[in-house]
Amino acid sequence: MSVDGLRTSDVTSLFVLTQDLVRQPLGRLSADTLTDLFALSELEDQLPKTLLRDLESFSRQMTREIGDLPLGSPLDEFLREMAAIPGRRVPATLRPVVLALDVRDGLSAEAAELIREMAGRWKDAPPERITLPKKQLKTIQRTEAPLRLQTPDRQEEMRKAAGTERVRSPRAPAAQRDERRPAWIRECLMDRLDEYGERGLKEAVLLAGLRHRSPFDDLTDAEVLAELRALKRDARVRFAAGRWIRVQKFVR
């Protein structure tokens, strides 16, 4: 498994992107993604505690699995992949884990050479500093109240500014005009929950994922939760232990 952009994603996106990755064994992850996740686990001042806890637990598990790699082809292949990663992208916490493999008995000549080569290259290449972007909140421009609600003086100002043009009342919000929203929300919810089967998804992660994917700039959690409750009433999803789960229907 390989996911691009982990070091440049905002926190909301990382909640979604890393949920499955941190539960994968070493053999299922590309070296690039492995190094990215180790690098993220070092960002104590930029990540919320829940996400940081998952990443730190992942790093500890990977440290054990790297140390337990069988000699021969599995270990050699892992070291080849690590050696191909630019030195600055290898985080400080992962470097000693890889270099510690040098003390293992029975290393192949290729493995020993790769470890020595990486040790020399990393010495002159300090890990790059990561600064995660902060998701920008969109500024909402206040709409002028309709003419009939203005004070007499303000009404006169608005008439002069508009000339002979009729002053119109504000249009209905996009959320009320666009009938595609409920259908899109439901379809996206069911697609997401399909991916996770009986494991389901935590509510906070599911909401964050919908906001991230949404083509609507003003999508709110309340809208998504309303559709989730409607799907629950239709017996298409269920809610248990803080997770939303798709109801699987079996046909004989």
Position 94 pLDDT exceeds 60: yes
Same domain, 24 and 119: yes
Burial call 202-237: b when 16+ CB within 10 Å, e when fewer = bbebbbbbbbbebebeebeeebbeebbeebeeeebb
Within-domain flag for 130: no
Domain count, the chain: 3
Same domain, 106 and 215: no
**Most confidently modeled of 105-114, 128-137, 178-187?**
105-114
Same domain, 15 and 117: yes
Position 221 pLDDT exceeds 80: yes
CA 147 – CA 155 distance, rounded (Å): 6
> Could you please report the per-residue DSSP string of 171-236?
PPPHHHH-THHHHHHHHHHHHHHHHHGGG-EEHHHHHHHHHHH-S-TT--HHHHHHHHHHHHHTTS
**Which residue range is the domain that position 30 belongs to?**
6-123
Within-domain flag for 140: no
CA 57 – CA 129 distance, rounded (Å): 22
Within-domain flag for 104: yes
CA 73 – CA 173 distance, rounded (Å): 61
Position 141 pLDDT exceeds 80: no
- CATH number of the domain residue 184 falls in: 1.10.10
Within-domain flag for 153: yes
| pLDDT tens, residue by residue, 171-217 | 445 444 466 788 888 888 888 888 788 888 888 888 888 787 777 77
Where is pLDDT greater, at 91 or 3? 91
Q: Which pLDDT belongs to residue 158?
A: 62
Same domain, 19 and 89: yes
Q: Which pLDDT belongs to residue 139?
A: 42
Where is pLDDT greater, at 143 or 221? 221
Within-domain flag for 133: no
| pLDDT tens, residue by residue, 156-169 | 666 666 554 444 44
Same domain, 46 and 95: yes
Which residue bears the tokens 């829940």? Answer: 50
Mean pLDDT (the chain, rounded): 81
Same domain, 41 and 59: yes
Same domain, 62 and 118: yes
Contacts of 85 (CB under 8 A, 6+ apart): 31, 32, 35
